Structure 1
Amino acid sequence: MSFKKETPLANAVFWAARKGNLALLQLLLNSGRVDSDCKDSYGTTALMVASYSGHYECVKELIMQGADINYQRETGSTALFFASQEGHHDVVKLLFEFGASTEFQTKDGGTALTVAAQYGHSQVVDILLKNGANVHDRLNDGATPLFLAAQEGHVTVIRQLIAIGAKVNQVREDGTAPLWMAAQMGHSEVVKVLLLRGADRDADRQDGSTALFKAALKGHSHVIEELLKFSPSLGLLKNGSSALHAAVMSGDLQSVLLLLGASADPALPNRNNELPGDLTKNERLLKVLCPKLSSGNS
């Protein structure tokens, strides 16, 4: 967190809040010469700094001295947002005790819940949900708390969100589903959980790629294994290619073998009339592709 103080006394308050120096903070606030809501040029308050740093007693002191719990800095962030981002569940509880709201958004649409989910703070997520946080919050680009948790591989948070009604197939504005994103990132356990909770195995983005295609392109064989348990499409996709073409392009032998073992067709051309084997000069890959191709032509 960056902040720029306006006066020497405000500077001292911010320093005490950041370092957790309760005695100094009390001395400064009790002097009557500095306001509990002193701000920097970005609208950052001492309460935000103490919340971000996780200093429970300093947060409590600032609140008791009249600090505005729900004040938003220039970016839209609040003390609750910062405490949630850093996983300070005790501070989050304290802020709720004194009236913190989950409804405030940052300029990009972020909320305390979206940021807690993104960083995988399951205790904070639980507290936020119990205090009215909306599981369907969305960033300006359409990403939900579930999407952000899937992107970062936070399985526990994903289970929490689904249990309270998060939609596993809610896509971002560009058509990207949580399953697709988890597959791209190589989070096989997340992929498994999402599939078991009803994720559409063949959901495609605007570019026509599916979770299997992306996992194959990235060479994430463990993800491919999980996806194949749910019989995803192995044929040509809307992007004019197949998962096997993608696996060959990745150069990952295990991914190619998994797809061939699931009956992916090495004799299926893409929209450019290229066979998977035409996309590589890797001898190991050609050896596993060519015998299959030969038997298919006999």
Structure 2
Amino acid sequence: MKIFFVMLLFICGHWQVQASDALIAAAKKNDIAQVKAELDGGARVEYMNGTGFTALILASTLGHLEVVQLLVAHGADVNAASKNGMTAIASAAQSRHDTAMVTQFFAQNGASLDGEFGEWEMAPLQLAIMNHNTASALVLIDAGADLMAVDKVDDPSLHGAIYQEDEKVERALLQNNVDLFFVNDNQKNAVQFAKKWNKSKFVLPIILEFYPDICNKTDC
């Protein structure tokens, strides 16, 4: 009898893994009907596949909003991390897919806007900026992300926007009174950082719109 129950548990566990793998496959394909069927059939919403990703992380990266909403409605933790430490909102932020609506959904449904992710220890806002995900960056700014969060070399979001020559993000940061005089670990404020990386031609005209006397206060 004991052997029977052990075998039964093994079979059930194997079946659940198969169902959970099918859930991840459906989430990647944006197959909403199949995602729902796998969830209703007992797939584990927090299941992590062999590469360390959950259905929520993968759907977030690909910008599959309806799948994300369905997974969260079935109990997926918006702040759970993948094996490499990325949360769903961080994955959406750094994606090159259209993930702005996914990012907004997470921001409105309890996802942390903070954290240090990846090799450069960036917050989601910084990840969005450095990966040219302007739309998600603007969503995060509007959602109240920490504009002065820094990466591992103490560069805040404005430095990233300058480096990437992202005018929309730079303007949004300046409109939200970001600190222009904050210095990184090389003791460079935003204007000096722009000069170091030959970005002054891009950044100074924009900064001067907001701070006409900036060159009287720092080296332009």
TM-score bucket of the superposed structures, by smaller chain:
0.7 to 0.9
Out of 115, 122, 136, the residue aligned to residue 114 of structure 2 is 136
- 2:183 equivalent to 1:204: yes
CA RMSD after TM alignment:
2.5
Name the larger-Rg structure.
1
Counterpart Cα distance in 2 of 1:75 and 1:102: 19
Deviation track 1:205-257 (CA, whole Å, cap 9, x = no partner) reads 2123333334334444232321233326543xxxxxxxxxxxxxxxxxxxxxx
Tell me, yes or no, if the aligned pair for 1:69 and 1:79 is still in contact at 8 Å.
yes
Structural mapping, 1:256-295, within 5 Å: 264=220
- The number of equivalent residue pairs is 200
Runs (5+) with no aligned partner, structure 1: 1-31, 236-263, 265-298
Percent identical among aligned pairs is 26
Match of 2:18 in 1: 38
Q: Find the counterpart in structure 2 of residue 190 from structure 1.
A: 169
The aligned runs of 1:45-84 (5 Å cut-off) are 45-84=21-60
Q: How far has the Cα of 1:74 moved from its partner? A: 4.7
Question: Where do 1:210-225 residues align within 5 Å?
Answer: 210-220=189-199, 221-225=201-205
**For residue 132 of structure 1, what is the amino acid of its counterpart?**
G
The residue aligned with 2:76 is: 100
How far residue 61 of structure 1 moved from its aligned partner, in angstroms, is: 1.7
Larger relative contact order (C-alpha < 8 A, sep ≥ 6)?
2
Task: Give the TM-score normalised by the residue count of structure 2.
Answer: 0.79
Offset of residue 36 of structure 1: 4.6
2: CA distance between counterparts of 1:167 and 1:131?
17
Q: What per-residue deviation string (whole Å, max 9, x for no partner) do you get for residues 51-81 of structure 1?
A: 1221112211211221111112355421101
Secondary structure of the residue that 2:25 maps to in structure 1?
Answer: helix
Q: Distance in 2 between matches of 1:215 and 1:90?
A: 40
SS of residue matched to 2:104: helix
Q: Which residue of 2 aligns with 1:125?
A: 103
For the residue of structure 1 that corresponds to 2:15, the secondary structure is coil
Contact 2:148-2:157 at 8 Å conserved across structures: yes
